[in-house]
Amino acid sequence: MAEPSGASLHITARPEARVRVRRFAASLARWAVLLAVAAIVVIPVVYAALGGFRDAPQLAADPVGLPNPWVWTNYLDTLTDPAFWLQLWNSTLVAALSTIIVVLFSALAAFVLARREFPGREAAYTLFTLGLLFPVTVAILPLLILVRDLGLQDNPLGLALPEAAFGLSLTIIILRPFFSRIPKELEDAAAIDGCGPLGFFFRILLPLSRPALVTVAVLAIVFSWNQFLLPLVLLSSESNWTLPLGVTNFSTQYTTDTARILAYTTLALVPALVFYVIAERQIVGGLTTGGVKG
C-alpha cells in the first residue's frame, strides 16, 4: 500500500518536463476554447448595452468600439417612459401571482403524494408528471377560448393561472422527494402535540423545506418572466402588457431607431440578469434535479 502512494507523490512533486509542457499546452488550449465561447456569449449583451449609448448614425457607422460621444437620451427616454414602468410592474405582478399559486398548490399536492399511502397515489403522480409533455403551444388556442369564457381575458390573473398550471408538473417533481426525506418521527411528534395534517404542513414541513421552496419559486419566476406566447394571446390592451410584449412591440414600432430599441431591450434585460446572479444556485439546482432525475 505504501509503495504506490509514495510513487504517485513522487510524480506529482516533480513531474517530468515533458509532462509539464503537455499540461501547459492542454490548459492553454482549454482556455482558448473557453474564452472564445465566453466572448460569443457576452458580446451580444455588451453590444446591446453599449448600443443604447449611441445614436442611430453612430450605430450604423461604427458599432464596434466604445460610444463616442456617449449618448444618454435613449436610456433616459426609456426610464422616463411610463409604459416601460407599467410593463415592469405587470411582469412583476403576474410573476408573483403565478409563483404563489403554483408553489402553494404544488406543495399541498406533493405533501400527500410524498407522505401518505392511498390508493391511486402513483397514478395521480404520473398524471401530474405527464404535464411535462403537454406544451403551452398545443393548448394555446383553447386556452384563449377558456380564459375568455371565464371573463379573465386581458387580466393579470387570467395569465397567471395558466402559467401556474403549466408549472405544476416540474414543481411537484422537485418537491416530492424533498418532502419524503423529512423524518416520519417529526410528524409523529407533531401529532402527539395535537398537530393535524394542515398544522404539520404549514408549521413544520414548509419551514423545513425552505431551500426546495426557494428553488421552485425561482424557476416559476423565470418561467413567468420570460413567457411570451401566453401573454401574446391572452392580453390585449397595452396597459396590461408584460415586458416581453412591450419590448417586441417597441422593436417593431421604432424599427429605424436601433439605438433606442437596444436601450429599451437592455433595460428589460437587467432584472433577469440581476435575478440570475443572485439566484444562480437555485436555478441550476432545480433544473438539474428536475432534468437528471425526472
Is residue 77 within 8 A of residue 263, CB to CB? The reply is yes
Give me the 79-108 binding string for other proteins, x by CB under 8 A, dash otherwise. ----------------------x--xxx-x
C-alpha span between 151 and 283 (Å, rounded): 34
Give me the 226-265 binding string for other proteins, x by CB under 8 A, dash otherwise. x-xx---x---------xx--xx--x------x--xx--x
Q: How far is the CB of 29 from other proteins (least distance, A)?
A: 10
19-38: contacts with other proteins (CB under 8 A): 27, 30, 33-34, 37-38
Residue choice 86, 93, 100, 112 for contact with other proteins (CB under 8 A) = 112
Residue 5 identity (one-letter amino acid): S
Give whichever of 66 and 292 is closer to other proteins, judged by the CB atom: 292
**Cα angle, residue 182 at apex, residues 180 and 188 outer, rounded to 5°:** 105
Is residue 234 within 8 A of residue 154, CB to CB? The reply is yes
Sign of the torsion formed by the C-alpha atoms of 153, 154, 158 and 162: positive
Site size toward other proteins (CB under 8 A) is 97
Binding of residue 210 to other proteins (CB under 8 A): no
C-alpha cell at 95: 410573476
C-alpha span between 195 and 34 (Å, rounded): 54
C-alpha cell at 23: 499540461
Give me the 211-230 binding string for other proteins, x by CB under 8 A, dash otherwise. -----------x--xx-xx-
Residue choice 113, 205, 213, 220 for contact with other proteins (CB under 8 A) = 113
Beta-carbon count within 10 A of 239 CB? 11
Residue choice 6, 69, 82, 119 for contact with other proteins (CB under 8 A) = 119
Binding of residue 187 to other proteins (CB under 8 A): yes
Binding of residue 40 to other proteins (CB under 8 A): yes
Give me the 123-162 binding string for other proteins, x by CB under 8 A, dash otherwise. -x--xx--x-xxx-xxxxxxxxxx--------------xx
Residue choice 97, 172, 205, 235 for contact with other proteins (CB under 8 A) = 172
Beta-carbon count within 10 A of 148 CB? 13
C-alpha span between 3 and 18 (Å, rounded): 24
Q: Which one of 10-18, 70-78, 111-119, 208-216 is the stretch in contact with other proteins (CB under 8 A)?
A: 111-119
Give whichever of 84 and 166 is closer to other proteins, judged by the CB atom: 166
Give whichever of 17 and 117 is closer to other proteins, judged by the CB atom: 117
Is residue 180 within 8 A of residue 114, CB to CB? The reply is yes
Binding of residue 45 to other proteins (CB under 8 A): yes
Q: How far is the CB of 252 from other proteins (least distance, A)?
A: 9
Q: What is the DSSP string of 142-182?
A: HHHHHHHHTT-TTSHHHHHHHHHHHHHHHHHHHHHHHHHTS
